[in-house]
Copies of this chain bind each other. A is one copy, B any other.
Amino acid sequence: MNSETLEASLRQVVGGSNVIAGPQDGPALVVRPGTTEAVAECLKLFHEHQAPVVTLGGLTGLVHGTHTPSHYFGISTERLNKIESFDPSTRLLVVGAGTKLEAVHDFAAEHELRYGVDLGARGSCTIGGNIATNAGGNSVIRFGMTRSNVVGLEVVLSDGSILTDLRGLPKNNAGYDLKQMFIGSEGTLGVVTKALLKLGPRPAGTASVLLALNHLNSALTVMEALERGCGHSLLALEIMWNRYFEKVSTALSEETPPLPSGHPVYLLAQVEGMDSGEQAVDSLVGALEGIDDIIDSALATTPVQESRLWSIRDGSDVIERAHKHVLSFDVSMRPHNYAAYIADVEARLKARISDAVAYYFGHLADGNIHFMIGHDGSSSDATRIIEECVYDALAYYEPSSISAEHGIGREKAAHLWRSRSTVEIAAMNRIRVALDPAGILNPHISYEPRIF
């Protein structure tokens, strides 16, 4: 590869000011194409020079999926950030891949509509990144993951050819549904440049409730009652174990937290009212009536009250700052297994890393729990040992996944065999080679079979 020729050609395609120096510990060069055609020209060049390239979106991923060594190139979707078109009759919205999730929410709100995917990083993460990781978030219980909200894609393949399906037909069985392959592929099969998103009606109001409970079983009882009583109006059902709740709720503000800490488990539920805000409150209160397991509760019926409760759930950066090192995990399994699994992880951690503190929270209804495990680095090899504690225990609670919604990235590649068979991993790699024969797209994300 002649890197000078490549660099000069890239400058010619995107303009000199859009070939910039990469961040420290990142790629030496980042290109910022402003159109799909420019992305295609860049990829043709990378392909020709067999130059490895990583697609960079909002950089909010949690598995080092956009890790880029200095001999790789970065291709940023920053300038592909336009709202391209909107059809009010079908509620289908075409946006550039670099559009921030929050900008989509704002656009939807201006049209009195709503987009189904929401998550804490909404102000930084991009739609392209959401698609690359099949992002989940708080409302999966209601709207599904990103896959369920994306109706079409435009993707540039590794050889620079542009694959477009922005037709937005509810039914189209004319050959394979190719977009399904790109959603969740973490930039290994192509560079997403545009997406066709489905917006939906906006509720008149929402209400949230924070509940204190004595046991995971009570949380499962409450979940059943909410799913039965609220049906499709249940927007979110989040769980926080006490160690997380206590740490975040007391750190967040000077005010007394909405509920005292110290109870084993906390649930945060949100419900919508399509016709009125009162409908949301009635539905929530009605569904919870007569459940003895609730020790304490705080109801939020205004946006300000709701945002106070949600700031606890969304406040995980408090944990990030509380320890010298923090590892994040994102596992899924059947919810009734969680109590046993967490006890198992706690015992393993205690035996092997004396200073490890684990905080548990997540999306109960999806069987998806996040762990943040902080430690001060006094044990050497702590990362490997903590990963072993979390993942080795997981094997006893099948079916389970080491990555419910974060993806594999560079961080979890060596653990993929824990959730996927050799045949599955081989099939992934065969499809990958088919679409990127030169192996230039995000090659640091390797789908590795088990290495014994």
> Which residues of B have CB within 8 Å of A8?
none
- A134 vs B183: C-alpha distance when bound (angstroms): 18
Say yes or no: is A206 at the interface (Cβ < 8 Å to chain B).
no
Interface string of A384-405 (1 = CB under 8 A from B): 0000000000000011111111
Q: Which of B175, B334, B402, B419 contacts A420 (CB 8 A)?
A: B175
8 contacts between A and B (CB under 8 A): A171-B332, A172-B332, A173-B406, A174-B402, A175-B408, A176-B185, A232-B232, A431-B435
Give how many copies assemble into the complex: 2
Say yes or no: is A133 at the interface (Cβ < 8 Å to chain B).
yes
Q: Which of B366, B368, B402, B430 contacts A434 (CB 8 A)?
A: B430
Say yes or no: is A340 at the interface (Cβ < 8 Å to chain B).
no
Interface hits, A10-51 → B, CB 8 Å: none
Tell me if A163 and B421 are in contact (CB < 8 A): yes
Interface string of A154-191 (1 = CB under 8 A from B): 00010001111101111111111110110111000000
> Which residues of B have CB within 8 Å of A180?
177, 180-181
> Which residues of B have CB within 8 Å of A163?
421, 423-424, 427
Tell me if A172 and B426 are in contact (CB < 8 A): no
- A334 vs B91: C-alpha distance when bound (angstroms): 13
Residue in chain B with minimal CB distance to A274: B231
A373 to chain B, nearest CB (A): 19
Residue in chain B with minimal CB distance to A147: B177
Tell me if B424 and A170 are in contact (CB < 8 A): no
- A406 vs B173: C-alpha distance when bound (angstroms): 7
Say yes or no: is A229 at the interface (Cβ < 8 Å to chain B).
no
